[in-house]
Chains A and B, each alone.
Chain A
């Protein structure tokens, strides 16, 4: 195991996750002197998160339920390696109270809230009861899960269309449907309930009023587990496609117009966090309209994907706070840390930039931005593959600026530095089905509404130019036309076949992928 320098001897932390978040957690754990243990599935045998940790344990098949969602295997890996702590990252087991209970039963410390506060706040329906008891306003809707489409229709009638059908166990837009009229509710209920059952093992649904032109604003909190909690500012994550966030920032441009609303939102979040004796990092999600109203949506009882923007503006390493709290070495500051400047994060996905359908596949070459106040969180730094077994996120890029305008400009430049090329034959023929949303993200940084900070959640649908096709032959530049003509001609020349340079690069990649595939049982 790697030496932890002069720091005190800490016990190992097992990171029950994969990809960029496993690497991000490992970095802080190592810096604090915690030895690190990775777990990996068949598909992840040579993934970068495995190399980011001091040791790594194979826990099963590529399907999440055979590995990253398998409580027994994760706990067995912790026992086998002498780990004392389990950091769940986000997704997978991070919000499963039964996993927290299993950790406790095995004598392991779960880095996060207790199973009890997770049950109170993590399940959307019990969370609604909890916030109702504390008089935090929330979106009108059914008090709990509805039995069937008929009951959903009754509530929808009562609160008025349009409504949202949402999975009680859901997140990330899975099992969620907008319904505009009674005639659509039966088929929408059936579809989203089945999607929820497949994704979360639980098909129960509830009904909620749809707020028009809403903004998604969330509050980062941190609790000490003893009834103390502070906030670390808010984030606005209104720019979403398929109900999933793609651009996140702090502070919220909307809240800059409503400072009183922001304070009330902070106060509500802290009140609830204290009430449930929340331990560690958590997020209260609100929907806010353009008239100064906000409604509680749900609480995420874990570290969020978009936590880097809060880290940029507060200077706090949230994972460090989580680990030190778990180790009994954390003292919650009496006041929220001051927030400075503005931060923006975008999510680079393997997906079609127009339809946003997932498009995973092998990566031939990849390059991320650097420079002052630029951060790339990724598990891809060389040729590899975005696996179809997992979330198709390739990277999170985040930047800081003294103000929002500076941050957006910095993001524009950072995104122009990014390159993600699929694996290709030497003549340019693409191998595999990788596409990315890079061109879409670049357009976001140049969109006038984004630059102004006027970004309700329907921005993408309301701005067709963001998802229009790229310019084609008719608009091509002279330089690009010369490059293409030349490229095609040199492929045809006899020297192309004799020369080995470029061919070797992609040849070795393919043998590398073949080796990878070959070791799969």
Chain B
């Protein structure tokens, strides 16, 4: 079987045998700029929250969780167990992903503002079509008995408004779209 490649940040990883199953071992080649390529054996054991890895540098445990971005691709949070080491917003690039990755910085469809928590819309401070500045309050939401102002992350125009005062929203519900 041919090698499987993926790229994460500065590291290109080339699996010489395809890793399979909740436990096992495989050989990987690691290439990163400015360092000579390395090749070594990796053993792993998967558990409910992530996996344990045995590398030449020792044993390491990681917890992993992922969320889907607007394009349906997984974005990971990975934390080393027993330490404060954690990385968020991590994406895995695979051969064939280049087009998607390239489109990232291209034209933007508009920025969805979503509810960060369940709650009730108390006031809507903007109208459709209105220009807004960065940090301008857009809505007031009540959650956990506190009123929270939702502010604009950047400059733009309110393209669509999805909520009205008094409405109850769940986490992730679209509130408005900025463009």
User: Which residues does A use to contact B, with CB under 8 Å?
Assistant: 173-174, 191, 194-195, 198-199, 242, 352, 355, 357-361, 364-365, 388, 391-392, 415-417, 419, 421-422, 424, 427-430, 432-433, 439, 442-443, 446, 469-490, 493-496, 499, 501-502, 505-506
Contact A480 B85 (CB under 8 A): yes
Of the residues B6, B9, B42, B64, contact of A476 by C-beta under 8 Å? B9
A359-B116, A493-B21 as given contacts; A480 in contact with B144, CB under 8 Å: no
Residue of B nearest to A446 (CB): B84
- Chain B residues whose C-beta falls within 8 Å of the C-beta of A471 in the assembled complex: 86-88
Contact B53 A483 (CB under 8 A): yes
- Report how far A416 CA is from B63 CA in the complex, Å: 13
Question: How many A-B pairs with Cβ below 8 Å?
Answer: 215
B159 contacts A by Cβ under 8 Å: no
- Report how far A360 CA is from B92 CA in the complex, Å: 28
- Chain B residues whose C-beta falls within 8 Å of the C-beta of A361 in the assembled complex: 171
Q: How far is the CB of A481 from chain B (nearest CB, A)?
A: 4
**A-B complex: 5 closest residue pairs judged by Cβ atoms:** A495-B21, A473-B9, A493-B20, A433-B171, A505-B48
Bitwise interface map of B from 122 to 133 toward A, beta carbon under 8 Å scored 1, else 0? 100000000000
Of the residues B48, B85, B91, B117, contact of A502 by C-beta under 8 Å? B48
Contact B9 A474 (CB under 8 A): yes
Residue of A nearest to B142 (CB): A198
Q: How far is the CB of A383 from chain B (nearest CB, A)?
A: 10
Q: How far is the CB of B128 from chain A (nearest CB, A)?
A: 23
Contact A485 B8 (CB under 8 A): yes
B2 contacts A by Cβ under 8 Å: no
A421-B49, A485-B8 as given contacts; A388 in contact with B74, CB under 8 Å: no
A476-B8, A476-B90 as given contacts; A489 in contact with B19, CB under 8 Å: yes
Contact B117 A433 (CB under 8 A): yes
Contact B6 A488 (CB under 8 A): yes
Of the residues A191, A470, A502, A506, contact of B22 by C-beta under 8 Å? A502
Contact B42 A359 (CB under 8 A): no
Of the residues A358, A473, A499, contact of B21 by C-beta under 8 Å? A499
- Chain B residues whose C-beta falls within 8 Å of the C-beta of A364 in the assembled complex: 48-49
Contact A501 B64 (CB under 8 A): no
- Chain B residues whose C-beta falls within 8 Å of the C-beta of A359 in the assembled complex: 116-117, 171
Q: How far is the CB of B50 from chain A (nearest CB, A)?
A: 7
- Report how far A195 CA is from B62 CA in the complex, Å: 42
- Chain B residues whose C-beta falls within 8 Å of the C-beta of A415 in the assembled complex: 84
B78 contacts A by Cβ under 8 Å: yes
Contact B87 A473 (CB under 8 A): yes
In the complex, given contacts A484-B92, A487-B62, what are 18 additional A-B residue pairs having Cβ atoms less than 8 angstroms apart? A191-B140, A242-B146, A357-B148, A359-B117, A421-B49, A429-B74, A430-B66, A430-B67, A472-B87, A473-B91, A476-B10, A477-B80, A480-B80, A481-B9, A483-B78, A485-B6, A490-B22, A493-B21
Contact A484 B76 (CB under 8 A): yes
Q: How far is the CB of A59 from chain B (nearest CB, A)?
A: 20
In B20-62, the 8 Å CB interface with A consists of: 20-22, 24, 26, 28, 30, 32, 42, 44, 46-51, 53, 55, 57, 60, 62
Contact B144 A392 (CB under 8 A): yes
Residue of A nearest to B149 (CB): A191
Contact A473 B62 (CB under 8 A): no
- Report how far A380 CA is from B176 CA in the complex, Å: 35
Q: How far is the CB of A246 from chain B (nearest CB, A)?
A: 15
Residue of A nearest to B122 (CB): A194
Contact B90 A472 (CB under 8 A): yes
B154 contacts A by Cβ under 8 Å: no
B96 contacts A by Cβ under 8 Å: no
Contact A484 B146 (CB under 8 A): no
Contact B65 A422 (CB under 8 A): yes
- Report how far A496 CA is from B18 CA in the complex, Å: 13
- Chain B residues whose C-beta falls within 8 Å of the C-beta of A502 in the assembled complex: 22, 46-48
Contact B82 A416 (CB under 8 A): yes
A415-B84, A483-B78 as given contacts; A506 in contact with B48, CB under 8 Å: yes
A242-B146, A392-B144, A473-B91 as given contacts; A483 in contact with B62, CB under 8 Å: yes
- Report how far A481 CA is from B13 CA in the complex, Å: 8
B99 contacts A by Cβ under 8 Å: no
- Chain B residues whose C-beta falls within 8 Å of the C-beta of A194 in the assembled complex: 122, 147
Residue of A nearest to B68 (CB): A429
- Chain A residues whose C-beta falls within 8 Å of the C-beta of B51 in the assembled complex: 483, 486-487
